[in-house]
Amino acid sequence: MATGRQQISGVAAAILVAGLMALGGCRPQPPEAGSASTPTTVARDLSQLRLLYGRIPETLNPHLATGVQDFEAARIVYEPLASYNAQGQLVPFLAAEIPTAENGGVAADGRSVTWQLRQDVQWSDGEPFTAADVVFTFEFIRNPQVAAATAQYYDRVDKVEAIDDHTVKVTFTQPNPAWAVPFTGETGLILPRHIFAELEDSQVRQAEANLQPVGTGPYQVVSFGGGTVLFEPNPSYWDGEPAFQQVALQAGLAPYAAARSVLKTGEADFAYNLQVDGQELQALEQDGQGRVVTLFGSSVERLMLNFAHPFVATEEGERANPEIPHPFFSDSRVRQAVAYAIDRDAIATQLYGSLGRPVNQLLVAPARYNQAIPHRHDPEQAKALLTAAGWQDSDGDGIRDRDGNNLQVVFQAPVNPVRQQTQALIKAQLEAVGFQVEIKRVRVDAFFSSDPEETDSLNHFYSDLQLYTTGNDSPDPSTYMGWWTCDNIASQANNWQLPNNARYCNADYDQLWQAAVQELDRAARTDLFNQMDALLVEEVAVIPLVHRASANAIHASLVGVSPTPWDTSTWDIKHWRRQDG
């Protein structure tokens, strides 16, 4: 989440992502300037803040989230102890201060952190917020019956204790330089103990509080249905009354339509993560109704290669199981050929413009991790590698074959205009070196689903190739880079909830990761993560394509918006207001 972002626990972690695509079909053509169809400004109630999203939230409980849209909505209601701003600095929310070694909050041995909490916070129903709520949130997340989407962010937590009503101590299982990951950002939102504690495990996912939450944030939900969530000010909010009398989060819009509503007609104030051609966005901006705010965070559009056979099942009926390796992607020469065949520069330039940069690594943010690993588009080298691997065009039909089998791949991606164009480019580039490519388009909700029965999901990965975006949703990349470890392989045994959907497994990579997550020296730790990133590229465990910017449309009258790559777009909604006049 993918923001972050693309899935949290398996499917949900790729959603977080900082950066998964909004729902959209065929792209509408923008009207010509000055034509009769050019829209005019629409009069509306300016005391309402109107937000547009591609997908409809399924839950407002962030720890049960199925995708980025759930976090975006939940963040309006719930708050973490702290979060990171765009500069990567921790900003307190429910915490009274940020723990440091100097104030005694961060233990010298890296094994614990102590948070001091604000003492003036109430839940929206008037109940006091205390350390017991933080302890309960941890218990909720770690309860295996809950199957929380955010559980992996608490993997290294041993226990959480309420020292008193406004002091919480988090103890880790080992020295943990990533002490700030638990309870911060969108995966650290605190739940009210008095609302959820009495629920049986079997009732948690059906609880009314998942759709009518009681939070500490600036707004509270008043209705949820018909593709719209309505919020009004939280009368108990600790940081003063927010600026808007109502917030309307409307979902289900195609990207161009959402952009047009903000930038051209003024019908809305904010449109999220617009996957629209850069030139079209510039054309929409010309009337001055609004602006497009871009932010290069951690989101990388990547091509995933399946290390397991997606179309042959084990005796237990499980497809894409590593016990049955992929018939040709198990050969590193074939994977390398795919990497050489793809023209990242063409994808970035033709489809993303100023919103994307060609890239050959997964870890692009913070800047200290960006190694700028070189990449090369070389179709002739791709052909030579395939020939060396025994794949020849024996019958002259343009498709390579071996032992009577064609070099054929099924290539899936969620429905989105830019993604389908990316698929088309990659298909042409792979076919130019001898592959046969079958394009498969998957409904967005199915592709990013966490439902174990949804076989079109990215974690089932019942295809040879797939395309999506995600990235680390914290300046600390330990959880993100852990997605590639052997223990995190998605499988039937874990209901396809773990994030390693490529089924990649390398003991050397695992050893580097284990060292990195315990290394307290910042420079040494950075080097370990960079080695991991380079190893993934060298092994062609994944093919990074484009470092993607998030692009949000913001109406000209809306001020106070300060986007960060390390939280949702709504993280600072308490500061949003209508410009005077």
Report the alpha-carbon distance of residue 3 to residue 14 in Å, rounded.
8
Q: Are residues 483 and 573 in the same domain?
A: no
130 closest CA partner among 138, 121, 139: 121
Domain count, the chain: 2
Render the burial of 10-30: b for 16+ CB within 10 Å, e for the rest: bbbbbbbbbbbbbbbeebeeb
Q: Are residues 310 and 363 in the same domain?
A: yes
**Within this chain, do residues 520 and 394 fall inside the same structural domain, yes or no?**
yes
What's the pTM? 0.87
- Of the chain, the end-to-end C-alpha distance in Å amounts to 37
* Position 410 in a domain: yes
CA distance 468 to 457: 12
Q: What are phi and psi of 217, to 5 degrees?
A: -75, 180
| Beta strand 112-116 pairing with 167-172 | antiparallel
List of residues 6+ apart from 570 with CB closer than 8 A: 51, 72, 73, 75, 76
Query: Does residue 70 belong to any structural domain of this protein?
Result: no
| H or E element in which residue 419 lies | helix 417-431
Same domain for 324 and 223: no
Q: Report the candidate in 284, 274, 224, 272 with the shortest Cα–Cα distance to residue 248.
A: 224
In a shared domain, residues 528 and 557 = no
572 belongs to a structural domain: yes
Bridging pattern class, strands 401-402 and 405-406: antiparallel
The CATH number of the domain holding residue 236 is: 3.40.190.10
The verdict on 450 and 566 lying in the same domain is no
Asked if residue 229 lies in contact with residue 29, where contact means CB atoms within 8 angstroms, the answer is: no
In a domain, 46, yes or no: no
Query: Tell me, what amino acid is at 148?
Result: A
Are 268 and 318 found together in one domain? Answer: no
In a domain, 279, yes or no: yes
Range of the structural domain that residue 512 is part of? 299-548
- Do 416 and 359 lie in one domain? The reply is yes
Give the model's pLDDT for residue 42: 66
In-domain check, residue 461: yes
**DSSP letter assigned to residue 201:** G
Radius of gyration of the chain (CA): 24
**Do 367 and 464 reside in the same domain of the chain?**
yes
Give Cα separations from 78 to 81, 88, 185, 574 (angstroms): 10, 21, 11, 12
CATH number where 373 lies: 3.10.105.10
In a domain, 10, yes or no: no
Are 419 and 275 contained in the same domain? no
Same domain assignment for residues 282 and 318: no
Reference 542, options 439, 438, 488, 465; nearest CA is 465
Q: Do 374 and 321 fall into the same domain? A: yes
pLDDT at position 32: 33
- Residue 140 maps to a domain: no
Identify the residue whose tokens are 């547009």. Answer: 52
How high is the mean pLDDT in each 10-residue block of the chain (581 residues)? 38 35 31 38 84 93 91 98 96 98 96 98 98 98 92 96 98 96 97 95 92 97 94 97 97 91 95 84 86 94 98 95 97 98 96 92 94 94 98 96 97 93 98 98 90 94 97 94 97 92 98 96 96 97 96 95 96 94 50
Question: Nearest-5° angle of CA 438, CA 440, CA 445?
Answer: 170
